[in-house]
Chain A
Amino acid sequence: MPQPVQYRGMSLIVPDNDTEWKEFYAHARAHRLVVRKCAACGLLRYPPTHACPWCMELRFTWQELSGRGTIYSYEIVHHAIQPGFKELTPYAVVLVELDEQRGRPTPDEALRIIANLLTPDLRPEAEERVAIGKRVRVVFQDLADHMALPQFTLTDEPPQGRVWRLP
């Protein structure tokens, strides 16, 4: 990538030799949520690491996901640390459990991803609407010609399991 991407006062740096993130963001900019798929055992992994954490295989392919998942946990930031986030408070950070590969290869494992919970037009979702168990889908926030952040937004699907939020 040519230069750091400036986003909310942060310098996001993806050097050319960081092929894991460079290729992930190139797909994201085309609005595809992808993860690495091991060429040996076939398991999917996120973040895009170099080797397979289950079998050490280096060969992989990129696999596109449905972008659908469930809020597994979350937090509501009221006191922002990064100056560029102060205007967004309170904002939700969600841990999303993606639909692919739930409970594999062991029951406690899953493809999970951190993002913000946003409205479809990419503004922070209202705190009262954030809850564990709610269904979400990916949306993309374009940052530069070669970079976009995968974010999530609520869907109309019925929740998965018990829905709960901290009042």
Chain B
Amino acid sequence: MKGLRDKYCLVGVGETEYSRGSNRTTRALAVEAVRAAILDAGLTAIDVDGMLDYQSGDSTLANHVAPDLGIRLNFYMDVMGGGSSTEALIGLAMGAIEAGMCNTVAIYRSMNGYSEFRIGGTGARAAQPVRGLDLAQVPFGMRSAGQNFAPTFLRHMYEYGTTSEQVAHVKVAHSKHASQNPKALLKDRVTVQDVVGSRWIVKPLHLLDCCLETDNATCLIVTTAERARDCRQRPVSIMGVAGRVSKPRLDFHWAHGPITRVAGYYAKDIVFGQAGIGPEDVDVTGSYDAFTFTTMLQLEEYGFCKKGEGGQYVSSGVIELGGRRPNNTAGGHLCEGYTHGMSMVIENVRQLRGTVDDYCPKAAEGVHTYDYAPGRCRQVKDAEIAMNLGWAMPPLGSALIMRR
């Protein structure tokens, strides 16, 4: 598929702190994240004239966020959606600019996913009335994300012999990465035994296989490569993007197997085709870790290993800092905190700039020790190409490839 390789860049990233009790509204969180991204890019409010955001009835819309910062918009849209929206909206931002509707787009996600509208499904979400297609699952006690995905994970264990211990390595790797991240909610390193010894949530998921409900807002700024040259940071070029690619029967994906196949099966040719590269060219990945299994399933579906060998791949050391292709170097949703995918793109932008915010004293200037002991460095040496694998559910995903 023809794309817009290298014509657009990510020029600004920003976020609030990760917390379990932000004590402010999603409007306030969004304003802080967008402001941080604008300052990071070296832009002003006048330079931003486009805005996109996503939510699920749990956040503040752009018409209340933009004016708070004195931004007058030529284009904006609020999108219903969760995970995998990040990459899709980056593609839509490129399209809006390409169509001549605006020049520079801020994309944000803001949520009190722990203190207000719990992303794990308890409280307000569990109390919602059940109608329409939800009747096919929710009356059977299948409502949360983990409950919705677990049969996919279990069938992978049945078909390929994948073990709990293998996928636990995803949590182990991400906890190692989080121990180098001052922002992370969980900074302690864990072992495989910690993961498989934690209590069951919904079998085959243990507590430590699950990500972390979080209050947070995040923002990314997209503009043309030409404008990017005048921004403060080293631009990160967008090589390819695939947005919300789905399997057949998105209404009830169980009907169309194999159920262990995820949307990356369809997305990979789009995104790699645009970028003109293959998995072997990628230095850093951000495979969405709503659960340990989601990271594994996507890495194998996008061809980083053979289908069915994801368990071996994630337990081989490849995905850890110091390995061939580290994944979610900030700790991801399992350890840094949950952002519906935004933080994984933010981290990869910083990796490609060479300025990840680790404990190295001169990190902002790009000076790193590459010492991956706890509380030190998490910069990947000479990272040139990064890829994000966004997940919404087994039959729905997005992808993004960037280069420095």
Whether A164 lies near B255 (C-beta < 8 A) is: no
Bound: A11/B140 CA distance, A: 13
Which 3 residue pairs across A and B have the least CB separation, nearest first?
A75-B150, A73-B151, A76-B203
| 27 examples of A-B residue contacts, CB within 8 angstroms | A8-B141, A9-B127, A18-B131, A46-B136, A46-B252, A47-B133, A49-B251, A53-B248, A72-B151, A72-B254, A73-B154, A75-B151, A75-B203, A78-B202, A85-B141, A88-B141, A90-B203, A91-B141, A93-B150, A93-B151, A109-B257, A111-B255, A112-B254, A113-B136, A114-B136, A116-B141, A166-B204
Bound: A99/B360 CA distance, A: 61
Bound: A122/B248 CA distance, A: 33
Bound: A110/B42 CA distance, A: 54
> Is A21 an interface position by the 8 A CB rule?
yes
1/0 contact string of B151-176 vs chain A (CB within 8 Å): 11011011000001000000000000
Minimum CB–CB distance from B363 to chain A (whole Å) comes to 38
Minimum CB–CB distance from B195 to chain A (whole Å) comes to 15
Task: Please give the residue numbers on chain A whose beta carbons come within 8 Å of chain B beta carbons, in ascending order.
Answer: 4, 7-15, 18, 21, 45-47, 49, 53, 72-83, 85, 88, 90-91, 93, 95, 108-116, 132, 149, 151, 162, 164, 166
* Interface of chain B residues 119 through 154 with chain A (CB within 8 A): 120-122, 125-127, 129-133, 135-144, 147, 150-152, 154
Choose from A77, A110, A132 the contact partner of B158 (Cβ within 8 Å): A132
Nearest CB to that of A95 among chain B residues? B151
Cβ of A151: which chain B residues have Cβ within 8 Å of it?
140
Whether B154 lies near A74 (C-beta < 8 A) is: yes
1/0 contact string of B72-99 vs chain A (CB within 8 Å): 0000000000000000000000000000
Known: A73-B154, A79-B202. Is A53-B249 also a contact (CB below 8 A)?
Answer: yes
Bound: A88/B157 CA distance, A: 26
Minimum CB–CB distance from A139 to chain B (whole Å) comes to 13
Whether A75 lies near B129 (C-beta < 8 A) is: no
Choose from B130, B138, B252 the contact partner of A47 (Cβ within 8 Å): B252
> Is B201 an interface position by the 8 A CB rule?
yes
Bound: A112/B258 CA distance, A: 12
Cβ of B139: which chain A residues have Cβ within 8 Å of it?
7-8, 10, 12, 149
Bound: A8/B126 CA distance, A: 11
Known: A10-B130, A14-B135. Is A73-B155 also a contact (CB below 8 A)?
Answer: yes
Nearest CB to that of A132 among chain B residues? B158
| Extra pairs beyond A73-B152, A73-B155, A93-B142 (12, CB < 8 Å) | A10-B138, A11-B129, A47-B133, A73-B151, A75-B202, A76-B200, A93-B141, A95-B151, A95-B254, A95-B259, A110-B255, A113-B136
Cβ of B142: which chain A residues have Cβ within 8 Å of it?
75, 77, 93, 114
Whether B131 lies near A14 (C-beta < 8 A) is: yes
Known: A75-B202, A93-B142. Is A114-B137 also a contact (CB below 8 A)?
Answer: yes
Cβ of B203: which chain A residues have Cβ within 8 Å of it?
75-78, 90, 166
* Interface of chain B residues 205 through 232 with chain A (CB within 8 A): none
Bound: A87/B127 CA distance, A: 17
Cβ of A91: which chain B residues have Cβ within 8 Å of it?
141
Bound: A116/B151 CA distance, A: 13
Whether A108 lies near B158 (C-beta < 8 A) is: no
Bound: A166/B165 CA distance, A: 13
Whether B158 lies near A79 (C-beta < 8 A) is: no
> Is B306 an interface position by the 8 A CB rule?
no
Cβ of B381: which chain A residues have Cβ within 8 Å of it?
none
Whether A21 lies near B135 (C-beta < 8 A) is: yes
Q: Which of A4, A53, A73, A85 has the most CB of B within 10 A?
A: A73
Choose from A80, A113, A162 the contact partner of B141 (Cβ within 8 Å): A80
Q: Which of B131, B151, B201 has the most CB of A within 10 A?
A: B151
> Is B256 an interface position by the 8 A CB rule?
yes
Bound: A46/B254 CA distance, A: 10
Bound: A13/B133 CA distance, A: 11
Whether B130 lies near A73 (C-beta < 8 A) is: no
Nearest CB to that of B210 among chain A residues? A79
Cβ of A108: which chain B residues have Cβ within 8 Å of it?
256-258
> Is B324 an interface position by the 8 A CB rule?
no
Whether B157 lies near A18 (C-beta < 8 A) is: no
Known: A53-B249, A91-B141, A115-B140. Is A166-B154 also a contact (CB below 8 A)?
Answer: yes
Minimum CB–CB distance from A55 to chain B (whole Å) comes to 14
Minimum CB–CB distance from A50 to chain B (whole Å) comes to 11
Bound: A74/B164 CA distance, A: 16
